């Protein structure tokens, strides 16, 4: 598409002008030079941006509806990890060519998830080039109430939501050309951001992060920011039957500890809050599992079933490390 061409505006009008929930705080949405958004007093705006590149973050021939869902879900997961309420999104789309069936499916996946969380697409950019999707999300949280990475304290209990390693297992199977159970595949292609959980943990969690690069690496960010260490018990990690049986067969704990794309939340909370947190799980529809404890001494200790430290073949995904 030539910049500013008729077909570009037609494409935007057709697929992206009316996506997501309508919101009274959107004074002006898609169509002008800028969107105009109204922010209440005493509220902070939480902002996060993520890019998904074809061939790096998703397969070129992946399902477009799933890609629309996932490109927004990863941002929603960041908002969840701050305890922020989703409000607005912007979308920068680079497309090799115009394909209306693909665009309609992408917009459906994006729009359905946006509506689920009361979020509105308020603007973006559309260019031609190698397929990539960048989504910026904007959330609202009462000033001072956001849950950051730097609040963990010695003695806090370490928790994770859901189960870990499912997306990593699905990705591995797809790469090997092996069959993947549909439910497992959904964990990779349509992650469910833990938005309600993140909001419910405001005022309870001392520190929180979403798991995009694997528990070991992402927990490491909480520990570094908080200036503390932690002990993590392998035997406590919440696993789906598929991941549990993979570990039983090869003894490698990398899936729950260092594979990416889980989009679960990892958080710390004082031990007095453990009963309350355990009782929250049912209402939120996801498991909450205590997996360790925060220590004053820096470093992450990984303890196996016999109390001995366990082997890890990878520590997490890092685009600029030499991890192939
Ligand atoms: P400008 O040239 O003024 O930056 P554009 O021509 O890039 O504007 O976009 C026109 C309008 O369409 C703007 O309001 C922009 O936010 C919106 N827009 C462009 N691409 C997208 C997209 N992929 N999704 C949502 N809105 C978009
Ligand atoms: Mg302009």
As a whole number of angstroms, the distance between CA 318 and CA 292 comes to: 24
Compute CA distances 28 → 34, 36, 38, 72, 135, whole Å: 8, 5, 10, 21, 19
Q: 16: CA distance to ligand 1 center in Å?
A: 9
- When the candidates are 3.40.630.30, 2.60.260.20, 3.30.1330.10, 1.10.10.10, the CATH number that belongs to 9-142 is 3.30.1330.10
pLDDT greater at residue 204 or residue 5: 204
As a whole number of angstroms, the distance between CA 254 and CA 250 comes to: 10
Compute CA distances 87 → 40, 54, 134, 177, whole Å: 12, 27, 17, 39
125 CB within 6 A, ligand 1 = yes
Considering every ligand atom, which ligand is closest to the CA of 9? 1
31 CB within 6 A, ligand 1 = yes
CB 203 within 8 A of CB 130: no
CA angle 324, 213, 121 (to 5 degrees): 115
Q: Is residue 269's pLDDT more than 50? A: yes
103 CB within 6 A, ligand 1 = no
95 CB within 6 A, ligand 1 = no
- Say what the pLDDT of residue 315 is: 54
As a whole number of angstroms, the distance between CA 231 and CA 294 comes to: 7
Structure tokens that stand for 183 in this block:
């439910």
- Say what the pLDDT of residue 323 is: 44
214 CB within 6 A, ligand 1 = no
Residues at the binding site for Mg(2+) are: 33, 48, 50, 78, 125, 210, 213
Instruction: Give the ligand 1 atom nearest the CA of 4.
Output: 6
Count of CB atoms situated within 10 Å of the CB of 201:
26
- Cα–Cα nearest to 212, from 69, 66, 55, 76: 76
Q: What is the pLDDT of residues 107-134, one digit of tens each?
A: 999 999 999 999 999 999 999 999 999 9
Give the residue whose CA is nearest to atom 4 of ligand 1: 33
Q: Is residue 4's pLDDT more than 90? A: no
Weakest mean pLDDT among 32-46, 193-207, 291-305: 291-305
Q: Is residue 245's pLDDT more than 90? A: yes
As a whole number of angstroms, the distance between CA 208 and CA 143 comes to: 17
Structure tokens that stand for 64 in this block:
């477009």
Protein residues near ligand 2, an ion, with CB under 5 A: 33
State the DSSP string of 264-309: -EEEEE-GGGHHHHHHHHHHHTS-EEEEEEEESSSEEEEE-TTSSB
pTM for this one?
Answer: 0.94
Give the residue whose CA is nearest to atom 18 of ligand 1: 124
Which contacts of 270-276 are long-range, i.e. CB under 8 A and separated by 24 or more positions? 270/153, 270/155, 270/156, 270/157, 270/206, 271/155, 271/156, 271/157, 273/157, 273/204, 274/157, 276/204
121 CB within 6 A, ligand 1 = yes
* Helix boundaries (H) for the chain: 6-15, 64-82, 100-116, 166-175, 182-189, 195-200, 215-226, 241-250, 254-258, 274-284
Instruction: Give the ligand 1 atom nearest the CA of 31.
Output: 14
What are the extents of the domains in the chain? Answer: 9-142, 156-303
Which of 12, 104, 114 has the most ligand 1 atoms within 8 A of CB, as the residue to mutate? 12
If 0-12 CB within 10 Å is exposed, 13-18 middle and 19+ buried, where does residue 143 land? exposed
- Say what the pLDDT of residue 313 is: 54
Give the residue whose CA is nearest to atom 8 of ligand 1: 33
As a whole number of angstroms, the distance between CA 125 and CA 9 comes to: 11
pLDDT greater at residue 84 or residue 318: 84
Superfamily of segment(s) 156-303: PurM-like C-terminal domain (3.90.650.10)
12 CB within 6 A, ligand 1 = yes
pLDDT above 70 coverage of the chain, percent: 94
């Amino acid at each position: 598409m030539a910049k500013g061409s008729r077909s570009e505006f037609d494409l935007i009008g057709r697929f992206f002008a009316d996506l997501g929930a309508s919101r009274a705080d959107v004074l002006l949405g898609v169509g002008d030079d800028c969107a105009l958004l109204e922010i209440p007093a005493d509220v902070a705006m939480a902002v996060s941006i993520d890019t998904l590149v074809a061939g790096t973050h998703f397969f070129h021939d992946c399902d477009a509806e799933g890609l629309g869902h996932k490109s927004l879900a990863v941002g929603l997961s960041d908002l969840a990890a701050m305890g922020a309420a989703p409000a607005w999104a912007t979308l920068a789309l680079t497309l090799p060519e115009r394909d209306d069936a693909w665009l309609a499916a992408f917009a459906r996946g994006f729009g359905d998830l946006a509506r689920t969380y009361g979020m509105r697409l308020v603007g973006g950019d559309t260019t031609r080039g190698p397929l990539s999707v960048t989504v910026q999300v904007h959330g609202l949280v009462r000033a001072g109430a956001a849950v950051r990475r730097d609040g963990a304290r010695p003695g806090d209990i370490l928790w994770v939501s859901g189960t870990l390693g499912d997306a990593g297992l699905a990705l591995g199977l797809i790469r090997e050309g092996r069959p993947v159970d549909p439910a497992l595949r959904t964990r990779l292609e349509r992650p469910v951001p833990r938005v309600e959980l993140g909001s419910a943990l405001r005022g309870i969690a001392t520190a929180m992060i979403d798991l995009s690069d694997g528990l070991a690496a992402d927990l490491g960010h909480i520990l570094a920011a908080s200036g503390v260490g932690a002990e993590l018990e392998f035997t406590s990690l919440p696993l789906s039957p598929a991941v549990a049986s993979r570990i039983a067969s090869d003894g490698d704990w990398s899936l729950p500890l260092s594979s990416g794309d889980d989009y679960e939340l990892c958080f710390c909370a004082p031990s007095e809050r453990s009963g309350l947190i355990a009782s929250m799980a049912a209402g939120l529809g996801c498991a909450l599992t205590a997996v360790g404890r925060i220590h004053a001494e820096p470093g992450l200790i990984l303890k196996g079933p016999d109390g001995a430290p366990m082997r890890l073949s990878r520590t997490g995904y890092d685009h600029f490390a030499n991890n192939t």
